[in-house]
Amino acid sequence: MSKFALAAPPRRAVVVVIVAVVLATAAFASLRLRQPATIAAPDTGAVAESPADAGESSGVEILLGLARQATHDGRLVSPQGNNAYEYYLSVIQLEPNNATAQDALRETIPFASQEIERLINRRDLEEARREIALLRDYDPTNYTLIILGAKLDAQQQVVTAEDEAKADAMRR
């Protein structure tokens, strides 16, 4: 971590808060629709899920819905705490083999990378750093992210040199 990085809440804490809210919502909905755990479905004889299973699966479904909406709205990696990547990563924490979340994370890296490059070019370096770290949570060895990290470091050096030159000019 560089000396320029701002303190941000740990990603794990953000994910825990998101998951807690989703599970609380699912629990509330489960209480409102309270039914016995083993209700026979008409004509099939199938047994309904227990409320605990329904709460976890509905939590995943809620997160997937939030992620789809964030993707639709163009919120792939920002704003922090309300973007598709964080929602999909939360799904992966609940269900590590969730194919929908895995596919979405893999397929959106190129689009998120383009946004990160625009941030670097606009010199919004702290946000670019946060977004690179977010994508690296999913794919730490992604070649594009490695290149973007190097570009970010180079841009940080340029900004630092410019700031030092301005400070020297003001001292004279």
- The answer to whether residue 41 sits within a structural domain is no
- In a domain, residue 83? The reply is yes
How many domains would you assign to the chain? 1
Let me know how many helices (H) and strands (E) the chain has, helices first.
6, 0
Residue 42 lies in a domain: no
Query: Which range of residues forms the domain containing residue 79?
Result: 11-36+48-167
86, 113 contact by CB (below 8 A): no
Residues in CB range of 56: below 8 A, 6 or more apart? 23, 26, 94
| pLDDT tens readout for residues 71-87 | 999 999 999 999 999 99
Indicate whether 110 belongs to any domain: yes
Residue 5 counted as domain residue: no
pLDDT at res. 51: 46
Long-range own/partner contacts, residues 135-143 (CB < 8 A, 24 or more apart): 135/77, 135/85, 135/109, 137/11, 137/89, 138/85, 138/88, 138/89, 138/92, 138/105, 138/106, 138/109, 139/105, 139/106, 139/109, 142/109
pLDDT value at position 7? Answer: 46
Residue 94 maps to a domain: yes
Answer yes or no: is 172 within a domain. no
- Residue 6 inside a domain? The answer is no
Phi, psi of 99 (to 5 degrees): -65, -35
Q: Which residues of the chain are modeled with pLDDT < 70?
A: 1-57
Which of 137, 32, 153, 148 has the alpha carbon at shortest distance from 80? 137
Output the pLDDT for position 38: 36
